[in-house]
Chains A and B, each alone.
Chain A
Amino acid sequence: MKALSIRGLRKVYKGGVEALKGIDLDVNQGDFFALLGPNGAGKSTTIGVISSLVNKTAGTVSVFGYDLDTQLVDLKRQIGLVPQEFNFNQFETVQQIVVNQAGYYGVPRDVAKQRSQQYLTQLGLWEKRNSPARTLSGGMKRRLMIARALLHEPKLLILDEPTAGVDIELRRSMWDYLEQINKQGITIILTTHYLEEAESLCRNIAIIDGGSIIENTSIKRLLATLNMETFVLDLDPNSVSGTVTLQDFQWRQVDDHTLEVDVQKSKGLNSVFAQLSEQNIQVLSMRNKANRLEELFVNLVEQGRQSGSKAGAK
């Protein structure tokens, strides 16, 4: 059974903006799935429809077999939603927020209070349980929204940019936590602008742009299509006497001790090192530059837009 199945989903907002143009999407049970796209691509609208905050124009949505139109109560019970913006009552305490949310899902108050200790402790918020939400830091508020989404123990957790504005250390700890609950069996759908996040956490990915899915595959398969990688070489400045030259490669000398080289997978790096040795240049260290997924993402979105504009020109 699919955790999420979407067919022909369309959303036209008042005013005529077509945010979703008939998308199809499947997410397997237990998956850690990334939904990527530039701003305004339709990610949040898709999540809004799944969580019934946005009324769809056409199409079908089912979550663990429960249909959005005919089995809404059962569908809602399967989902925990962590929205992009803080949407809790800033004047309520941390524990009130999570216990109330569980109450809306029909979890008895005493059970909700017990679970609140478990989840708030796991997310490092138990000490803050009696603090009004407005007094929390940005990172704590993000974690509060995750705790709130988990208290009714959903099978599908949807996170809309959960680590936006969160510092690196906290982001890593949130990743660890999400990986942990995914291993426990919770299916996770994640939208993010941090492509490194998607690459580190997710197994499958869909890229959405202009209301259409332009790619839907596994992260491994997607990365395999990337045939060019950029390497950053740290050179010994004492060994570099002038301008470095490399035949058959695209390269940039950033400064007297840093070289960036674009390498096609078929070519390999041996020739780069051979040519540098011939020039008596010492390579001290080397690393892969930037985010491979980011490069792919930009390429795919640009290709999608170019083909869209060509189709429009016809």
Chain B
Amino acid sequence: MSGFNSIALKTIWIKECTRFLRIWVQTLVPPAITMTLYFIIFGSIVGSRIGEMGGRPYMEFIVPGLIMMSVITNSYSNVASSFFSAKFQRNIEEMLVAPVSTAVIIAGYVGGGVARALVVAVIVTLVSFLFVDNVQLHHGVILVLTVILTSTLFSLAGLINAVYAKTFDDISIVPTFVLTPLTYLGGVFFSINLLPGIWQTIAQANPIVYMVNAFRYGFLGISDVHVGVAMGVIVLFNLAFFVIAYQLLQRGVGIRS
């Protein structure tokens, strides 16, 4: 569909932001509580016995990873649940009958996912101030770019999941069986340099490794992978997921008869 409908884009984005702010107890409070527990258990209690990782106190080392973990899960679940609810209640039809292009629908939903991820990132960062005295930013541009690109990527992934989902259970399968394991193995709590040879190579096939390390570089200036390569991987995944999401919606998979 030709023509850029900027008012529709703004409308979808406002609708999405209103949604996650309206249910803030479900969307914004849980990451604050969960991350506080992570900081206490892994950072303070376990971390004090670990000492340093990557040349930094363990608590400082895990801060970027935990922020990125929140960004990933929140951007994903925001779009997955919102888009699936729109399908389930059939109010997705409000957009489908209107002159709203596929790209605008994707941009609106992804914009909502990114907005929630940014709000959660700020909340978790503020929580980390309670546990880390010396929070510093090494490279602000890399930091912001990584958060935006990562939340965009997982918003797209959530959208693709919602397109295929037929029940509410279907939107929890991917986070449980794919996202959580990849995140835990993605270098949030450890440097992948600690892994034995073959496992280090396998770990590099995990895209979340690149996101966590690029973000950690922006925060602390340390990374297990080359930051340029990491940014390249994130951009490539974004392009691939956008093309998939665009094709699915354009063909009307799961939304048109």
> Is there a chain A Cβ closer than 8 Å to B228's Cβ?
no
Q: Known: A91-B22, A108-B7. Is A53-B93 also a contact (CB below 8 A)?
A: yes
Q: Are A52 and B15 in contact (CB under 8 A)?
A: no
A87 adjacent to B94 (CB under 8 Å): yes
Closest to A14 in B: B257
Q: List 19 A-B contacts (CB under 8 A).
A: A45-B257, A53-B96, A53-B97, A54-B256, A72-B1, A73-B2, A73-B3, A83-B90, A83-B93, A87-B90, A88-B89, A88-B94, A90-B89, A100-B11, A103-B11, A106-B99, A108-B7, A109-B10, A152-B98
Say if the beta carbon of A130 comes within 8 Å of chain B: no
Is A54 in contact with B257, judged by CB distance below 8 angstroms? Answer: yes
From A45, A53, A76, residue with most partner B Cβ within 10 Å: A53
* Segment 241-257 of B: residues with Cβ below 8 Å from A: 252, 256-257
A92 to B22, CA, bound (A): 10
What residues of chain A lie closer than 8 Å to B89, measured between beta carbons?
A: 87-90
A152 shortest CB reach to chain B, Å = 8
- Bound: A74/B86 CA distance, A: 25
Q: Any chain A CB within 8 A of the CB of B91?
A: yes
Quick one: which of B5, B19, B91, B97 contacts A88, CB cutoff 8 A?
A: B91
Instruction: Determine if A85 is an interface residue (Cβ-Cβ < 8 Å).
Output: yes
Which residues in B have their C-beta under 8 angstroms from that of A148? 94
Which 9 pairs from chain A and chain B are nearest by CB? A103-B11, A104-B98, A87-B90, A73-B99, A76-B99, A54-B257, A89-B91, A51-B97, A106-B7
User: Which chain A residues lie closer than 8 Å to B90 at the CB level?
Assistant: 83, 85, 87
Q: Are B8 and A104 in contact (CB under 8 A)?
A: yes
CB-CB under 8 A from B15, the residues of chain A are 92, 96, 100
> In the complex, what residues of A have CB within 8 A of residue B85's CB?
89
A129→B225 CA distance, assembly (Å): 54
Cβ–Cβ < 8 Å partners of A83 in chain B? 90, 93
**B148 CB within 8 Å of chain A:** no
B67 an interface residue at 8 Å Cβ cutoff?
no
Q: In the complex, how many angstroms separate the beta carbon of B181 from the nearest chain A beta carbon?
A: 33
- Tell which of A51, A100, A104, A108 has the most Cβ of chain B within 10 Å: A104
B contact residues, total (Cβ < 8 Å): 30
Question: Which B residues lie within 8 Å of A140 (CB)?
Answer: none
Query: How near does chain B come to A106, taking the closest CB pair, in angstroms?
Result: 5
B residues within 8 Å of A by Cβ?
1-3, 5, 7-8, 10-12, 14-15, 18-19, 22, 85-86, 89-91, 93-100, 252, 256-257
For B8, give the chain A residue with the smallest CB separation: A104
Binding site for B on A (CB under 8 A): 13, 45, 48, 51-55, 72-74, 76-77, 79, 81, 83, 85, 87-92, 96, 100-101, 103-109, 148, 152
Chain B nearest CB from A301 CB (Å) reads: 24
| B5 closest partner in A (C-beta) | A106
Q: Residue of A at shortest CB range from B85?
A: A89
Residues on B with C-beta less than 8 A from A53 are: 93, 96-97, 256-257
Query: How far, in angstroms, from A46 to B95 measured CA to CA in the complex?
Result: 19
A81 to B93, CA, bound (A): 10
Return the chain A residue nearest B95 by Cβ.
A104
A106–B8 touching, CB < 8 Å: yes
Residue of A nearest to B10 (CB): A103
Residues of B within 8 A of A106 (CB): 5, 7-8, 99
Determine the chain A residues whose CB is within 8 A of the CB of B99 once the complex forms: 72-74, 76-77, 104-106
Given contacts A81-B97, A89-B89, A96-B18, contact A103 B7 (CB under 8 A): yes
